Amino acid sequence: MAPLTSLFLAPVDPRSAPELASIQQVLLDLEVIARPLGPQTYAAGEGFSRQVVYAGCSPYLVMQPPSDGSLQFCHVALHGPFALPRLVTGPNTPKPRCPACRASLADWRTQLQDWLAGGAEVHCGTCQRKWSPHRLDWRGHAVSGRVLVELRNVFPGEATPSDKLINTLSERTGEAWRYAWAGCLVD
């Protein structure tokens, strides 16, 4: 079974924490979410496939939970607010780049546990500058934030959020939003 990956939406500023109720209302209004499946987890609504734009030919989307209980179907989870920005990477996350000199951080996976614990800054061996892991250029394959919207079972490069979804989140929360692909986040 392939690892579960997700399309994440998050405020551009990883320290901001818009109210989950406002985010949930946007997702309801655009019919991205439907009935609750559990705490802060929702079935994909009728608008999911309108607000998540898939590339290429019509993909086969599994919209109902499979009988084996796995998460291998399209649904939505809201996460947060966390006390500090949470960094989410995936199994195929490429090496991040230093925002100053653009050098790749080849040893990022060895430093990851320290970062996830909320600690260490990243030291770029090329330009010697230090950064929060949230400031690195993850090239759209990692996300960080105190509040995250996870569109589960969406694979990297397979789909992007519609402009309407991103713009509506921005308008209603007063925050600019972005997206990235990463591994499934299970609290």
Average pLDDT over residues 34-63: 84
Rg, the chain, Cα only: 17
The pLDDT of residue 148 is: 96
The number of distinct structural domains making up the chain is 2
Residue 39 shares a structural domain with residue 74 = yes
Residue 13 shares a structural domain with residue 99 = no
Tell me the pLDDT tens digit for each residue of 50-80.
Answer: 999 888 765 667 777 777 877 777 889 999 9
Residue 55 shares a structural domain with residue 126 = no
Q: Is the pLDDT of residue 186 over 70?
A: no
Residue 162 shares a structural domain with residue 132 = no
Residue 118 shares a structural domain with residue 51 = no
pTM more than 0.85: yes
| Domain hosting residue 27, numbered range | 5-86+141-183
Read off the tokens for 101. 């000199």
Residue 148 shares a structural domain with residue 117 = no
Tell me the pLDDT tens digit for each residue of 98-121.
Answer: 999 999 988 888 777 777 666 677
Q: Is the pLDDT of residue 3 over 90?
A: no
Average pLDDT over residues 120-142: 86
